[in-house]
Structure 1
């Protein structure tokens, strides 16, 4: 089961703006204030060399690492931000079809920097009908809830000025070889003729319970269910069918697995419900030109404006924690005076403290020639 949205052809990032060149830090005269000024243009590019020394070395330009780089750079740290790939975004990159072809080959060859993926398959039945740069494909598609810390951060940091968003108001599920629209508001539940009156009442009770879940009374009640799976809680308390439980868990909660505890499940559903009617009749936003990869580039731009140095195609080979010397596969070295931060996908072969993968997600991305409207009802 998956949530499905329809997208249309938009200009690629390369068509809308020039790529971020590698740049060196601005001259530091002291620590910057915590207030981020209005973003200006990028400094003139310099030769693609790695500096001899930096305060913080960050490997991987994923969303988490890019946010960290921008925060540190604006606070005055000398940040060197590298990525083993020739593009930004790490595991959340937005790629053209030609880049996807190379990505699939690297994944299946277990190339360093691609550890987070496996069994990549690309099928193009009519390759002569596709222009590679006409499509931007997200490796890890993500939507952003209106009531989220990330949106607040985008506004506060002014990174949103680099981005454009599309609102998404409808969620559809695919099950039993057909698409179905998810009923997620009071009006939709009441008008859904496929639901019995008893089921509508139970769904309304559940939604009220979720919206009031932060009250002292309900928070105390949830303590009795904190070690019980979310799916069992819904089945026991609200007598919903397996299909409805799946919709709540996977579609509204966007959980990659049903094995989540009740409190986490309630929190996920509440995030969805409270995001309605904040900026309009929609709960989520999607970056028009590249999902999380686009957001990563936005924060990288902000970090570059603040003086961070960027270099792509740079794979970390080893790090000597005693001498604090980082060595790259091209032979270059840099002394790290404070901290090394590394994405799991960019970690060297002998790295320690790499988090274990708890589950796998199977993802299918399809490009269709005609409109998808006729699939939905």
Structure 2
């Protein structure tokens, strides 16, 4: 502990582990500490016994649910875009060799009380039962425009400068109905509210292109992939990477206290009477509660079931997005389901999560629209947790704090936070130019 490090990372959540790995690969001397005796922090995966202990104190799970060890229940369940930023980070760092992925079966959207497969291309638009005949044709034209759009090819722009015109302007040009706009904005472009409509259209077009490219990568029913044995494998994969490049890990270190000098700059971390010195501290919000602000809460339900979600083509793994407008809410609701097919539950068992930005203190009532889609449920656990963002000035105190995990069921916003933190810590952009054919190899299990 007496050594001096470039960076001390506190907490082994996914964001912290990715940063630890990236910084170690860059040649920085990294010490990674956690007060817990396990990897993953808030983004860990639990066995059935651990799940019961966390939510039901001393009760024991019923035997009919199967072996506890066969469960890997993610506390922050999220899928990865097959062509997305996290996959690029995994390939760039070589962490793919520690993991096996499998394609996610389906991606659906809730509309007028029913769920529909999300159409992502002009061909799917024509087949979709989500729209009437004339609307299908209008949507097809819009999808063709998006598919053909290239930044450096003015011919593909159709006279529109997407950096200046809003998404609302582009959509009105194609005359799309509100319900179509709803699924395009929330289930394809994965916006969390409707503010995107008045932002430059380029952001929405690029998000739609990412969805379509990810869908094409594994020729599956969705653009998503997910690791076998759950997301708890991800932090451990990046921890291994850091260790390979000389990073030092210390778990079960109680009361990790960040030390500050008279100018308010962090210079080390003390635990068990010893202080390790450093130039910079990276941590999750729980390690520096005085330097973060509460920005919201996430309500979620964890449900164990013995069947796939109805009306999803018997999918073993699936995402359903319930757009805010469909529910009369301020924020979207997300349904995430995985199963024994991804080695996260015993044969025949499914784990579903329903999550949203909490707008009340009653998750049971608030999450009902999503839970109602699941059919009969064996066991349900409800939870609300606070979301925090950094409120400090990292250039003044050398403390780089991650934001809490949002309710989305995909990793795009999570990884953007990591990339932003990496740039602040190192002063340089993260190079994500990788050969994505390696992603196909990594996902051949997929």
State the TM-score, normalized to the length of structure 2: 0.59
- Whether the 8 Å CA contact 2:121–2:144 is kept in 1: the answer is no
Indicate the residue corresponding to 1:191 in structure 2: 127
Q: Is the aligned partner of 1:335 residue 2:335?
A: no
Normalized per residue, the structure richer in strand is 2
After superposing the two structures, state which structure 1 stretch, 265-274 or 179-188, moved more.
Answer: 179-188
**Please, which moves more after superposition, 150-159 or 313-322?**
313-322
Change (3 A) 1:60 1:264: farther
- Alpha-carbon separation, structure 1, partners of 2:294 and 2:289: 14
Structure 1 equivalent of residue 286 of structure 2: 346
2:257 is the counterpart of 1:306: no
Counterparts of 1:104-143 in structure 2 under 5 Å? 127-130=62-65, 131-143=67-79
Pair 1:277 & 2:228 matched? no
Counterpart in 2 of 1:316? 256
1:153 corresponds in structure 2 to: 89
Q: Matched residues in 1 for 2:2 and 2:68: separation?
A: 35
Determine the C-alpha separation between the residues in 2 that align with 1:370 and 1:148.
30
Q: TM-score, normalised by structure 1?
A: 0.69
Query: How far has the Cα of 1:159 moved from its partner?
Result: 1.0
**1:370 aligned onto 2:310:** no
Question: Shift in Å at residue 163 of structure 1?
Answer: 0.5
Shift of 1:194: 5.1
Paired residues of 1:60 and 1:342 also in contact (CA < 8 A): yes
Tell whether the 8 Å contact from 1:84 to 1:346 is kept in structure 2 after alignment: no
Q: 1:59–1:346: 8 Å Cα contact kept in structure 2?
A: no
Q: 1:70 aligns with which of 13, 21, 26?
A: 21
Q: Distance in 2 between matches of 1:267 and 1:361?
A: 27
CA–CA distance in structure 2, aligned partners of residues 249 and 360 of structure 1? 23
Structure 1 counterpart of 2:195: 259
Q: Is the 8 A contact 1:173 1:251 kept in 2?
A: yes
Tell me the secondary structure at the aligned position of residue 365 of structure 1. strand
Q: Which residue of 1 aligns with 2:235?
A: 296
Aligned length: 301
| Unmatched segments (≥5 aa) in structure 2 | 315-446
Equivalent of residue 177 in structure 2, options 237, 241, 258: 241
Q: Which of 160, 167, 180 is matched with 2:116 structurally? A: 180
User: How many angstroms apart in 1 are the aligned matches of 2:129 and 2:22?
Assistant: 50
Deviations 1:212-270 (A, max 9, x none): 34335439522332xx4x4x446523333333222222222222323223332222211
Aligned position for 1:168: 104
Give deviations 1:108-127, integer Å, cap 9, x for gaps.
Answer: xxxxxxxxxxxxxx9x9974
User: Which stretch shows the higher mean deviation, 140-149 or 320-329?
Assistant: 320-329
User: 1:42 matched to which residue of 2?
Assistant: none
Distance 2:74 2:92 in 1: 25
Q: In the alignment, is the contact (CA less than 8 A) between 1:319 and 1:326 conserved in 2?
A: yes
Counterpart secondary structure, 1:209: helix
1:175–1:278 distance in 2 versus 1, CA, 3 Å: closer
Deviation at 1:284, TM superposition (A): 2.4
Q: Match of 1:313, SS?
A: coil
The more displaced of 211-220 and 182-191 is 211-220
Taking only aligned residues, the RMSD between alpha carbons, in angstroms, comes to: 3.1
